[in-house]
Amino acid sequence: MNKDANVIIDKVGRDLYILRYNDTDTKYFEALWEIPEGVTYNAYLLIEDGTAILFDTWKKGLDSEFVNALNSIIDIRELKYIVIHHTEPDHSGIIKTLYEKNPQITILGSSMANKLIRSFYGINPRFKAVSDGEVLTIGDYKLTFIHIPWLHWPDTIATYISPINTLITCDVFGAYSIPKSVIIDDIPEDYIVSMRKYFTNIIGFYRDNVIKNLDKVLSITNNKIEVIAPSHGAVLRGNAVGRAIDVYREFALKIPRDSKIVIVYSSMYGFIDSIMNYITQVLNNWGFRISVYRFTDKERSNIGDLIGDVNNAFGIVLGISTYDTEPFPLMDYIIELLIRKLRGGKPILIITDYGWGDVVPKHVKTRLEKAGFTVIDTVSINGQPTEREFGRILGVLQNLKNFK
């Protein structure tokens, strides 16, 4: 396959290029998240007064495609600096090859990035650790490096380039999918879903660091950002800038203003199916927006989509079958991801179904409460629910409804 066909080179400023790779091969991002929608890796290149400075690279393994793309703009021997905003190998993956082709390169990044580069790639390049707020002037351009730790790793920095008021952010403001346009001026709703999925899957665990880093960036840049250039997805410009900042604030909330309820359940033989159909109907009648994710003998939902969707939901209903005296394994895994990526906050209603042993509810309730969720109630059903049990479920749904 000619992977060079997946490369896009374009300009996002007079002297600022984007080198974008459309990755449609990776099925599981981070070997974990299903991404049938694909993902892009975006690097940026600023050329000013004969000085070339590269911001990030692409995923490890795309070396020849990256070198070809870069060579189509400059001779690699002209590259003076590479800024590594974040060392995860979907962004730093080509450093070793670039260093081998041009050992004169100076790498700029946080001091942690310095350590990580050496351990990941076994190279010993010239490295300058940039301090928080440090400025590098290249011709007419002023580059301000801003430390934004934990977005996504502790090593992370952003670069603000003035006077073009462009903020290069790596994972922050990134999204899954292969956007048709390199630059967007407005963010369509389906793209916000892609941003939220990426945020929750990747940055969700570190969500407590979002607002303070966002405020810090806005303060340092005097709220003048005109372009946001992330390392995944589209470059954001115009109306898209303010909208992205607003939705990021919303993403970081543990209990959002949304009225959506996400229902997630496993059903091995259909008992929980009937309960969840009833719950869906009741919540719909009450005016809640509902998303349903099922794990049955006929269907297996995309867990990455689920975790992204649940991020901004007001509440969650879990339907868990009992398996080997434990929660059904896929639900166990989903509960672990909810704990890690949401970090508590939301109300959760737990419905379990069992055959010969009612062993799950306490186990799950304790785990979720310990993680900071509010467990509205647990309802345990033995096989097929009775009329009386449907009545009990209606009662606990009222408690979920009244939680706000």
CA gap 251, 148 in Å, rounded: 17
CA gap 238, 293 in Å, rounded: 35
Exactly one of 56, 63, 65, 88 binds ligand FEO (CB under 6 A); that residue is: 88
CA gap 350, 272 in Å, rounded: 12
Judged by beta carbon, residue 20 or residue 232, the one nearer ligand FEO is 232
Six-digit token string for 303? 């867990």
8 Å CB contact between 2 and 219:
no
Cα radius of gyration rounded to whole Å, the chain: 24
Exactly one of 152, 197, 207, 346 binds ligand FEO (CB under 6 A); that residue is: 152
Judged by beta carbon, residue 152 or residue 346, the one nearer ligand FEO is 152
190 CB contacts (<8 Å, ≥6 apart)? none
Judged by beta carbon, residue 176 or residue 295, the one nearer ligand FEO is 176
Exactly one of 65, 90, 273, 353 binds ligand FEO (CB under 6 A); that residue is: 90
Judged by beta carbon, residue 206 or residue 295, the one nearer ligand FEO is 206
- In whole angstroms, the minimum distance from the beta carbon of 401 to ligand FEO comes to 38
Judged by beta carbon, residue 59 or residue 346, the one nearer ligand FEO is 59
* DSSP label at residue 357: -
230 CB contacts (<8 Å, ≥6 apart)? 42, 168, 169, 170, 171, 172, 173, 174, 175, 236
Bridge pairing between strands 235-237 and 227-230: antiparallel
Asked whether position 341 contacts ligand FEO by CB under 6 A, the answer is no
Exactly one of 86, 96, 147, 197 binds ligand FEO (CB under 6 A); that residue is: 86
Judged by beta carbon, residue 113 or residue 261, the one nearer ligand FEO is 113
Site string for ligand FEO, 162-201 (x = CB under 6 A): ---------x------------------------------
Judged by beta carbon, residue 109 or residue 361, the one nearer ligand FEO is 109
Site string for ligand FEO, 199-238 (x = CB under 6 A): ---x----------------------------xx------
Asked whether position 353 contacts ligand FEO by CB under 6 A, the answer is no
To 5 degrees, how large is the angle CA 262–CA 175–CA 253?
45
CA gap 241, 223 in Å, rounded: 11
CA gap 37, 58 in Å, rounded: 18
Asked whether position 91 contacts ligand FEO by CB under 6 A, the answer is yes
Asked whether position 305 contacts ligand FEO by CB under 6 A, the answer is no
Which positions lie near ligand FEO, rule CB under 6 A? 86, 88, 90-91, 152, 171, 202, 231-232
